[in-house]
């Protein structure tokens, strides 16, 4: 297992299971629990959920049933747009902990930037951090301007920024900015398979790109493994979502090969600024209409 050290000294496993829409959107049942237990049996210890995903309870049940020591696990959740601001953020965090049946989180993220509430939200999160209810604080989908806003008042700096990042959308200027400021990059949608609202047609995805397929054939691995390895070697966290045992396993087994610098550059060169998921410039209205389930 590969680890990355955050700017506050906390270590995060570089490969985690992304939990958006496991089964279907906001599904929170035995099926979701069983997917998590399968991943745990393979060796996954990092699980990335969010209040709006609606599956924190299933993850919590899996954690309990697994019998794994809590300190071996890395659990991330996020505060949704409608939960941002002072007391609302405190209450949202408490509800997440209750649903997960946990005493603390390893990482808590602001799910999307809402600049009017950022200061209130972040200061509430800082209080939770000082109370040792969360080991690290981070961001998700934040633009450079949003990070600059945080930097103007934050006493606890963010440890990471979770963003859409795949070979067709590398966001290099934002990545460079974050890394310069010691903010780790976590990749959601690392395979360019689409968002919770719309899947990308297979033929338009990076894992069928001839450049990546050719590299995969050379190492006798899958194209998906090449993409994940491309991220791991560039010191990024990846959060692939899969529900099929074989896929969960192959996503996790990345220690058998190393990409050359030329391979990495060839994949970097595939960038065409093709965003498949939500754009932080335009999602605000849609997000505010989305309910966090009880």
Task: Look up the pTM and report it.
Answer: 0.95
Whether 53 sits among the annotated catalytic residues: the reply is: yes
Percent of the chain residues topping a pLDDT of 90:
91
Give the domains, in start order, of the chain with CATH numbers. 9-288 (3.20.20.100)
Catalytic residue, from 2, 31, 44, 53: name it: 53
Q: What is the pLDDT of residues 62-110, one digit of tens each?
A: 999 999 999 999 999 999 999 999 999 999 999 999 999 999 999 999 9
DSSP track, the chain: --EEE-TTS-EEESB-EE-TTSSSTT--SHHHHHHHHHHHHHT--EEE--GGGT-HHHHHHHHHHH---GGG-EEEEEE-GGG-SHHHHHHHHHHHHHHHT-S-BSEEEESS--TTTHHHHHHHHHHHHHTTSBS-EEEES--HHHHHHHHTT-SS---EEEEE-BTTB--HHHHHHHHHTT-EEEEESTT--B-SS-BPPGGGSGGG-HHHHHHHHHHTS-HHHHHHHHHHTTT-EE-----SHHHHHHHH--TT----HHHHHHHHTT------S--TTT-HHHHHTPPPP-
Question: What confidence category does residue 203 fall into, taking pLDDT thresholds of 50, 70 and 90?
Answer: confident
């Amino acid at each position: 297992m590969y680890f990355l050290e955050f700017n506050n000294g906390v270590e995060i496993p570089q490969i985690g299971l992304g939990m958006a829409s496991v089964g279907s959107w906001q599904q929170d049942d035995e099926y979701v629990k069983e997917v998590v237990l399968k991943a745990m049996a393979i060796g996954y210890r990092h699980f990335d959920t969010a209040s709006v995903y609606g599956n924190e309870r299933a993850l919590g049940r899996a954690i309990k049933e697994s019998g794994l020591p809590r300190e071996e696990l890395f659990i991330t959740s996020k505060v949704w747009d409608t939960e941002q601001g002072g007391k609302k953020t405190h209450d949202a965090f408490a509800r997440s902990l209750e649903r997960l049946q946990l005493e603390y989180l390893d990482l808590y993220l602001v799910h999307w930037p809402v600049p009017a509430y950022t200061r209130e939200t972040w200061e509430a999160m800082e209080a939770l951090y000082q109370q040792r209810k969360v080991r690290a604080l981070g961001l998700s989908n934040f633009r450079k301007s949003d990070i600059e806003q945080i930097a103007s008042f934050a006493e606890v700096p963010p440890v990471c920024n979770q963003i859409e990042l795949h070979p067709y959308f590398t966001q290099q200027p934002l990545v460079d900015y974050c890394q310069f400021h010691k903010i780790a990059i976590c990749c959601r949608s690392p395979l360019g398979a689409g968002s919770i609202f719309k899947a990308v047609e297979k033929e338009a995805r990076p894992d069928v790109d001839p450049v990546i397929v050719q590299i995969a054939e050379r190492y006798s691995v899958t194209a998906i493994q090449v993409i994940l390895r491309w991220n791991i070697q560039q010191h990024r966290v990846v959060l692939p979502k899969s529900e099929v045992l074989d896929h969960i396993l192959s996503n996790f087994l990345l220690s058998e090969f190393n990409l050359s610098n030329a391979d990495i550059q060839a994949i970097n060169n595939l960038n065409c600024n093709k965003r498949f998921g939500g754009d932080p410039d335009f999602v605000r209205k849609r997000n505010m209409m989305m309910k966090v389930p009880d």
